Each structure stands twice: as structure tokens, then as C-alpha cells.
Amino acid sequence: MQSHHYTETQRFWNSWYVILAFVILTPVWSELYHFFQSGQYRETINAESLDLIISVSTVVLILFLLYFMRLVTELRDDGLYYRLAPLQRKFRHTPFDEIESFEVVTYRPIREYGGWGIRHRRNGKAYNVSGTKGIKFHLPNGKHLLIGSHNTEQFECVLHSLHVKRIG
């Protein structure tokens, strides 16, 4: 049985998402209210009502996904495990012997990676959901894997205890 040395779960949803959701949903709910008040729902579905239904469904689906999305990171005996649930059902695994070194970094998610989530770049990948700190793992193929973290100090300490080489 494998031992878990470190587990961190970060949620995508935070207070500014609630504010953003309110700002986005207020006009949508207002439009929906007027749609039902006017009795348009009794008529056949026209292009305007179809647009409204699609808009509401899309906004609700995105907010639902953001609410349940989370980045789970684990350090186990045999390596690094990470997944962005519910988009990824299974953990991705990077064995420790495939990690040349790591460093604690402060990064700019939008400028350096184009935002949050699973971000692919020419020189590597990033898994992040919020914040600007993380652990960058350098791989033998010259690429890197960035894992966002709200607890880089503990993450780093556990990596040291597992004898993963740190840069610097």
C-alpha cells in the first residue's frame, strides 16, 4: 500500500467568482424573468427565446463546472500525482526518477500561461486554479511541469524529505 506524504486540494471557486457570477447572472435572470412574465414560453420557441435558453444553460454549466472543479496534488512513495477534477477522472503520474529538479516559483498565470486550468506551452505544462505560487518541476526532456500551490513551504519540505533535488 502506498503512503501519501502530502495532499493538497485547491478549489477554483473563490469569493471573486461569486461576485463575477452575480454580475453575469443578474441580467440573465432578469431576461429570464421577463421571458416568463410575458408568456413567451407558451408560444413556439423562436430564435430569441432559443438564444436565451442557450445563454442561461451555458452560464449555469460554466458556473457549475467552476464550483466543482478542484486541483488535487499528492506526493506518494513513487512520485507526483495530480489531476484537475472533474475534467480528469484519473490522476496523472510523474515518477520521482523522471524529475531532474524542482524550484518554488512565483509566476504570472495570465502572462506566462494564458490563465488557469491545464495550460500547455511549448516548454511544458501548468496545472493551476488560483494564486501565483507553485512548484516548477524540471523534466529530463527539457520541459517543465508547474503545479500551483497555496502551501509551497510544506510542499517543498515534503519534496526534500523524499530526496527530490531542488534548484539553488
* 155 contacts 8 by C-beta, under 8 angstroms: yes
Same domain, 84 and 31: no
Same domain, 64 and 81: no
Range of the domain at 105: 4-9+71-161
Q: What's the pLDDT tens digit per position in 64-111?
A: 777 788 999 999 999 999 999 988 999 999 999 999 999 999 999 999
Strand partners, 112: none
DSSP annotation string for 124-138 = EEEEESSSSEEEEEE
Same domain, 86 and 110: yes
Same domain, 127 and 97: yes
In this structure, is residue 155 part of a structural domain?
yes
Domain count of the fold of the chain: 2
Q: Which three cell numbers stand for residue 84?
A: 484537475
Same domain, 61 and 20: yes
Same domain, 57 and 81: no
Cα separation, 94 vs 55, in Å, equals 39
Residue 94 has a pLDDT of 96
Confidence (pTM): 0.77
In this structure, is residue 168 part of a structural domain?
no
In this structure, is residue 166 part of a structural domain?
no
In this structure, is residue 156 part of a structural domain?
yes
* 116 contacts 97 by C-beta, under 8 angstroms: no
Q: What's the pLDDT tens digit per position in 118-153?
A: 999 989 999 999 889 999 999 999 999 999 999 999
Side chain identity, residue 85: A
Same domain, 37 and 98: no
